[in-house]
Structure 1
Amino acid sequence: MMLHATRFVLHLVEGRTMARSDPHTPARPAATAAAAWLILAVLLLFSIAAPLNQFKVPPIMPLLMEAFGLTVSGAGLVMSVYAVTGLILALPAGLIYQKAGPRLTGIVAGGSIVLGSALGALSSGTGALLASRVVEGVGTSFMAVLAPAIIAQWFTTRQRGTAMGIWAIWVPVGTAAMLILAPALAQAAGWRSVWWLGAAYALVVTLLYLAFVPRGPAPRTSSPQPDRAPAGALEGRPDQAVTSAQVLRNRNIWLLAGAFAAFNGAAVGLGTYMPTFLTSQHGLPLAQAALISSILTLVTIFSAPAGGVLSDRIGSRKKPYLVGLAAAIVLLPLAGAVSVTGLIVLVVLAGLFLGIVPTNIFAAAVEATGDERQGGAAMAIIMVGQNAGMLVGPIIVGVLAETAGWPAAFASLAAISALGLLSGWLARVR
């Protein structure tokens, strides 16, 4: 009954009017702006399940180290193995989405996260815990490709930056929620309760996604070959759609993936160890350390959408993400050299600048294809970069923290961010 009711609501919303985009964009039959925003809201709630589960490790890492007898770098592996799965599956996930469509891909994404989190809650050894993280990583691989591809088809070029900016808060919202909730929950009911919470949320939003997302393809928001394609977009005959193979050979999308790899390496490298750094070096209680660590992600909840609106207004995706990467070079290395008060100021500033990076890289990658229907393939390439960064970043920071100290570990984030700035600058996108 609930499933039929929600589909009826979506049908009413879609059927109210017809919408057009810019002059070169064909009409979107049976698709209204209201329907697009409703789909975006559902996608956001669904997507949050991935970071909510991925980032449940950092806020309770000391408890996991004690429970499983792990070192700092060993605990970082619990984060990195998640990224290994994403790195391996990123390209296949994008191609599978292009063939399977949004509903089947959504079932795989949500179902894998539910199953993996439940298996993790039942694990009794390090091997079982790592295996469960691999299963969760499968779900996140599909989730990261799924949502931007759907958004690209439901929103016009003029609205896409704003829509991507709103969806881009999926990671900070999920991360911040766990940073705030996990310590108190783990101390009250044990670390396994955090895993059960992640499984329960993923199950609920998967059902919500299946209730609202239409079975058929989304309406077109632009022609396969627009009259004025964005810089770096693929070119072809006007009557010929862009193929996935062409997208996979697009140099500009791979350069954007390189920039995003560096961004994630620096951001996740910092976020993974920040609670542990604050408890071990500044003597803060775990809950307080996790709360301070959450400030950066809380700020990006506002800066990510703002970055999308800004890019739509100035007509550029490249300028905002370059500014964000440049700020990371300056700000992130200071984390190991300031007081707790200084660190709070630092993470606020970092959140303001870092939040605009993912929004604009996502939008630039989709637009570089020249055909939003290939958004899944473009995002698959971007996810290769994301997972490579998430894999390498925590390893670099963890090893340096053990061998050279925390200041050296955080200083490495400047070099990582500089590589991202270079890669992003070389990409020919608008």
Structure 2
Amino acid sequence: MDNKQTMSPAKAWLQFAIVFFAGITIAMGMFKVPVNMPNIMNFYGTDMTTVSWMMSIVGISCLVTALPAGGIMQKVGVKTFGIIVIVCGILECLLGAVAPSIELLIASRVLDAVSYGCLTMVSVAIISASFAPEQRGLPNGIWVIWVPVAQLLVAQIANGVVPAFGWQGEWIVVGVCQIIALVLFILFIKNPGQQAADADGTDEPEEKASIVDGLKEPGPWLLTLICCGLAFGCSVYTGLYPAYLSSPMGAGLDPADANNLVSLGSLGGIVGSVLIGIIINIVKPTKRGWLMLAICAVSIVTFLVVFSVPAAIMAIFIIWYSFVSTINMPVAFAWVPDILKNPKTLSMAMGIMMIGANIGGALGVTLPSALIDGAGGVWAACLPLIVGLAIVSLVLTVMLTLYVKKKVLPVRPDLEGK
């Protein structure tokens, strides 16, 4: 797969719209659990700790599947892999709706891990194949809001469906949405390899790179460490900051006021996703390392003051913190195709990159929480960890930027002058 746009802008945006819709339905499958936890507890007569495994098992499984998934996608092709991913989501909804025990319901969530954990790789591969390097920023930025949109939708579905049909009704509704996404995906999504063949006027899809070729690319390994380091500080926002706002040893706000501030913060994430997409498009593909460097620097400063913001400007800071926590992954998604000596290894590169993002997301709440608890509830006790890792990410970004300049650009004529 090269880095030239292989279809018209209208067709490229159609490809994105379908994969974005598919992503929303898959994220709905992931986040239909939190809004139905009390209903599931009552139905099976179990406790919250047991039901919480329905979320934990997805996070654990995502860590395990990231690298093999990249290899499988590189082997079978992006479209085929995308179909498998969506089918896994559908099967989870169907099996979960009829699960006779909580144990089987939890086990079915492994299928959600495959769908939720792998669809981002599919989306980035399709965006990279459909849009020229200088045009990928906006779709990558918009893509990041797939989760907030899904969380909003599952809450509304729960309000409308669950009172009449129980929590199983939400499983069925989400499954139907995923079936619609699957049909659209099969009908309209083109495999990136076939896009290149169509552009060349040939019938043969381009040759795939081997999995070993993908593993030998240094760029994705550096990028996965960068994403991991930044994910810790970002996870503090999503996982711990609501508790900090209402904690007596934290901001000490009224719980209702704290919830309102968290809701307000979502605006920063949504606006940030679109804004960073526009910025990515403005910045030349060969200069995106400097954009990531700027994000690392801004993140370091933000993480450093996260637990010492005056109440008077807390609302503004939360919008800013949400913005900062949102913008690094769109840049990584847009940058990853251009840090490869062999662009045909993109599928494997995505799998490698998602390892760091998943590890940071999984441990970014657990480790800071342990440090805070160990310090007797002092929230600033986790700052050396999250700020230190962000500094490491900054150093690694400098290294990756220099590596791309010296080792990648000389062998990538498609990036010349970009």
Same fold (TM over 0.5): yes
Query: For the residues of structure 1 that align with 2:293 and 2:76, how far apart are their CA atoms?
Result: 35
Higher alpha-carbon deviation: 58-67 or 397-406? 58-67
| Length-normalised TM-score, structure 1 | 0.73
Query: For the residues of structure 2 that align with 1:123 and 1:163, how far apart are their CA atoms?
Result: 37
Query: For the residues of structure 1 that align with 2:258 and 2:271, how far apart are their CA atoms?
Result: 22
Contact 1:258 1:385 in 2 (8 A): yes
Partner of residue 361, structure 2: 390
Whether 1:84 aligns to 2:60 is yes
Partner of residue 414, structure 1: 387
Aligned equivalent of 2:274, options 288, 301, 305: 305
Question: Which residue identity is paired with 1:419?
Answer: V
Aligned equivalent of 2:23, options 47, 67, 73: 47
Partner of residue 250, structure 1: 217
1:287-306 aligned at under 5 Å gives the runs 292-306=261-275
CA shift in 2, pair 1:256/1:25, >3 Å: closer
Q: Shift of the alpha carbon at 1:154?
A: 1.5
Query: For the residues of structure 2 that align with 1:416 and 1:429, how far apart are their CA atoms?
Result: 22
Name structure 2 gaps, 5 residues minimum: 200-205, 406-418
Q: Shift of the alpha carbon at 1:363?
A: 1.8
1:119-138 aligned at under 5 Å gives the runs 119-120=95-96, 127-138=103-114
Whether 1:426 aligns to 2:393 is no
Query: For the residues of structure 1 that align with 2:373 and 2:215, how far apart are their CA atoms?
Result: 39
The structure with the largest helix share of the pair is 2
Question: Which residue identity is paired with 1:349?
Answer: W
Partner of residue 93, structure 1: 69
CA shift in 2, pair 1:207/1:296, >3 Å: farther
CA shift in 2, pair 1:274/1:350, >3 Å: closer
Question: Which residue identity is paired with 1:112?
Answer: C
Contact 1:90 1:383 in 2 (8 A): yes
Question: Which residue identity is paired with 2:395?
Answer: L
Contact 1:271 1:293 in 2 (8 A): no
Q: Shift of the alpha carbon at 1:416?
A: 3.8
Partner of residue 135, structure 2: 159
Q: Percent identity at matched positions?
A: 25
CA shift in 2, pair 1:47/1:192, >3 Å: same
CA shift in 2, pair 1:403/1:65, >3 Å: farther
Question: Which residue identity is paired with 1:418?
Answer: I
Q: How many residue pairs align between the two structures?
A: 386
Contact 1:36 1:154 in 2 (8 A): yes
Question: Which residue identity is paired with 1:36?
Answer: A
1:266-281 aligned at under 5 Å gives the runs 266-275=233-242
Query: For the residues of structure 2 that align with 1:399 and 1:123, how far apart are their CA atoms?
Result: 35
Question: Which residue identity is paired with 2:288?
Answer: R
Contact 1:337 1:407 in 2 (8 A): no
Query: For the residues of structure 1 that align with 2:54 and 2:11, how far apart are their CA atoms?
Result: 39
Look up the SS of the partner of 1:424 in the other structure: helix
Q: Shift of the alpha carbon at 1:62?
A: 8.7
Contact 2:214 2:346 in 1 (8 A): no
Partner of residue 69, structure 1: 47
Query: For the residues of structure 2 that align with 1:136 and 1:42, how far apart are their CA atoms?
Result: 19
| Length-normalised TM-score, structure 2 | 0.75
Aligned equivalent of 1:104, options 59, 80, 89: 80
Q: Shift of the alpha carbon at 1:379?
A: 0.7
CA shift in 2, pair 1:241/1:109, >3 Å: closer
Cα-Cα RMSD: 4.1
1:365-384 aligned at under 5 Å gives the runs 365-384=336-355
